[in-house]
Amino acid sequence: MENSARNKNILEIIDQNTERIENIVMSAGLLIISAIVFTNVIARYFFHTSFNWSEELARYIVVWVTFFGISSCARYDTHVNVDLVPNLLKGSAKLIHQVVIRLISFGISIYMVYISTGFTKLQFSSGNKSVAVAVPIWLIYLATCIGFTLMSYVYLRKLMKLFADRKAEKEGV
């Protein structure tokens, strides 16, 4: 019993920290994008010049924010979905539906980790850099690996929670 409580506590700590990292990356990214765009607008309209790197850097930050956002959307179930079938189901049918959806989501997420990791490795070995900012391209694509890994973790935890809730329900807790 004590070991299970310790594992639960460790998983809760991981959950809290991954959520905190997601929120920091998304918030900081949006603030930086806003500052970059605002600064470039001021420079363009008041000083008749612009920064050639600003659009590219903002685009790359949007990529990072987006892929950290997919994990956050999975955590809070804010992805676009159709809830007609789940609203009609009750009892075991609803549980089976939820398990199947979580398994499919987890499987697709894991597959995307595999694909994005291969693509990121390819970019790493090519040594390409972005044009204006001169950042290695693989760093930009690393966001896909991290985002899909976090999303896989979230779907795995949701699946574990479904089974834990079902077990607790059967035990009458």
Residue 101's domain comprises: 2-171
Q: Which pLDDT band, with edges at 50, 70 and 90, does 118 fall under?
A: very high
**pLDDT score for 9:** 83
Q: Which two tokens stand for residue 87?
A: 């609203």
Q: Averaged over 135-163, what is the pLDDT?
A: 94
Number of domains comprising the chain: 1
Sort residue 134 into left (φ over 0), alpha (ψ -120 to 50) or beta: left
Q: Which pLDDT score, from 0 to 100, does residue 25 have?
A: 95
pLDDT at 119: 95
| Model confidence at 1: pLDDT above 60 | no
Determine the average pLDDT of the residues in 22-32: 96
Task: Give the chain's mean pLDDT.
Answer: 90
Beta-carbon contacts of 150 under 8 Å, excluding residues fewer than 6 positions away, are 18, 22, 68, 70, 71
| CA dist list (Å): 131 to 3, 17, 20, 55, 140 | 52, 34, 32, 11, 13
- pLDDT-derived band at 8, boundaries 50, 70, 90: low
pLDDT at 173: 60
Is 90 exceeded by the pLDDT of residue 70?
Answer: yes
- Percent of the chain at pLDDT above 90? 70
According to the model, what pLDDT value does residue 92 have?
84
